[in-house]
Amino acid sequence: MTARLRLFPGSIHPDSIRSGTRLDRYRLQSRLGEGGFATVYSAYDQLERCHVAIKIPDARYVSNTQSMDDLRREVDIMASLEHPGVLPLHDARVIDGLFVMVFPLGIETLADRMMRRMSRATAMVMIYQMVDAVAYAHSHEVLHRDLKPENFILFDDNEIRLTDFGLARIEHGCYDDSASGTLGYIAPEQAMGRPAYHSDVFSLGLIIYRMLAGELPEYPFQPPLPGFNKLRRGVSRDFVALVRKAIDPVPSKRFRTAVAMHRALKKIAHPLSGKGDRERFRTSAKRQLNRAA
């Protein structure tokens, strides 16, 4: 379904939103999370008879003309991306005075999943999907600018999808001279208002590092990086080299785009060194490929 932004006046006050609130065909059930610009709820779609996630931007944010332009851009970008690794946007409109964006409801975020022990095989299945999704966005000239574990949503069987393109931009090879992103995952040049594709590569590399090492190195990096020995455990030297290249502080030494990173990842014959992990990864990856076909 292609999402379209439709505006019409309404009557629900943002402070009155709670469990049981009905927004047209959607009945809100619980609050899933809250950020600086929006709140996400689980809801029940009474027409399609399925559970969904609904993102409602803060009313003060929506009331700003520039912010509405940003929302329109987010809707346009997400509606243009069709890929198994990108969370699809099912609906986007103003209902009873509230702007809502509707998505499939996942199980949890990658940030939630990383709070529990994760096997190397499971992590690698997710990593391949994540790199593929960002590479797809880059191939369509979309620069995400806010890659972090909270913006990857997990579904059954370790399926993972990229979401939240609120800071995304269509890349035209020029800088917007404004800082954006999330502390801890933002590339140094992006923090200085010079984001580019290799900035997304840096953020993605740090997510992968944390998934495998259990720790997030802080910029400026000082060797030895925290958790580096754990990162190397059970993965090939080629894969470790790929991660190190992705998080190089010097932009020109990184992969230029996630497309190049994805290409290099596919050339690694055995990303996992353990025979059992390799077999589990191969089996899981085959299921992902069959589902995407």
Q: Active-site positions?
A: 146
Beta bridge partners of 26: 23, 45
Is the CB of residue 32 less than 8 Å from the CB of residue 153?
no
> Taking each helix axis from N to C terminus, what angle separates 237-246 and 197-213, rounded to the nearest 10 degrees?
130
55 among the known binding-site residues? yes
Is the CB of residue 246 less than 8 Å from the CB of residue 204?
yes
> CB-based burial of residue 29 (10 Å sphere; 0-12 exposed, 13-18 middle, 19+ buried)?
middle
User: CA-based angle 250:220:245, to the nearest 5?
Assistant: 40
| Measured distance CA(141)–CA(133) in Å, rounded | 13
Tokens of 1: 């379904």
| Measured distance CA(167)–CA(281) in Å, rounded | 33
Annotated binding-site members for ATP: 55
Annotated binding-site members: 55
